[in-house]
Amino acid sequence: MPELLYREALNQALREEMRRDPRIFLMGEEVGFYNGAFKVSKGLLDEFGVRRVIDTPITEAGFTGVGIGAALVGLRPIIEMMTFNFAILALDQIVNNAVKIRYMSGGQLAVPIVIRGPGGPSRQLGAQHSQSLESLFCHIAGLSVVAPATPRDAKGLLKSAIRQNNPIIFIEGQELYSTKGDVPDGDYTIPIGRAEIKREGTDVTVIAWSKMLLLALRAAEQLARDGISAEVIDLRTLKPVDYDTLLGSVRKTGRAVIVEEGWEFCGLGAQIATDLYRRAFDAFDAPVERVTGYDVPMPYARHLEQQALPTAERVIEAVKKTLYR
Mean pLDDT of 53-76: 98
Q: Catalytic: 129?
A: yes
DSSP string, 31-94: SSTT--TTSTTTTHHHHH-TTTEEE--S-HHHHHHHHHHHHHTT-EEEEEPSSTTGGGGGHHII
Domain ranges of the chain: 3-182, 196-322
Task: Determine the pLDDT at residue 92.
Answer: 97
196-322 and 3-182 share a CATH fold: yes
131-154 tens-digit pLDDT: 999 999 999 999 999 999 999 999
Q: How far from 145 is each of 156, 233, 269, CA to CA, in Å? A: 15, 17, 14
Calculated CA dihedral for residues 128, 129, 131, 133, nearest 10 degrees? 100
Mean pLDDT of 159-166: 97
Q: Out of 3.40.50.920, 2.40.50.140, 2.60.120.370, 3.90.226.10, which CATH number does the structure's domain 196-322 have?
A: 3.40.50.920
Mean pLDDT of 305-313: 93
* Res. 124 pLDDT band, cuts 50 70 90: confident
Catalytic residue among 30, 129, 175, 196: 129
* Res. 123 pLDDT band, cuts 50 70 90: confident
Task: Determine the pLDDT at residue 221.
Answer: 98
Calculated CA dihedral for residues 132, 221, 205, 145, nearest 10 degrees? 30
Task: Determine the pLDDT at residue 235.
Answer: 98
Q: Helix crossing, 268-280 with 243-253: angle to 10°?
A: 70
* Res. 80 pLDDT band, cuts 50 70 90: very high
Specify the pTM. 0.96
pLDDT at 126 over 90: no
Mean pLDDT of 218-224: 98
Q: Does CATH place domain 3-182 in 3.40.50.970?
A: yes
pLDDT at 245 over 90: yes
Catalytic residue among 8, 17, 29, 60: 60
Q: Catalytic: 221?
A: no
Mean pLDDT of 19-32: 98
- Conformational region of residue 117, where left means phi above 0, alpha means psi within -120 to 50, and beta covers everything else: left
pLDDT at 233 over 90: yes
pLDDT at 237 over 90: yes
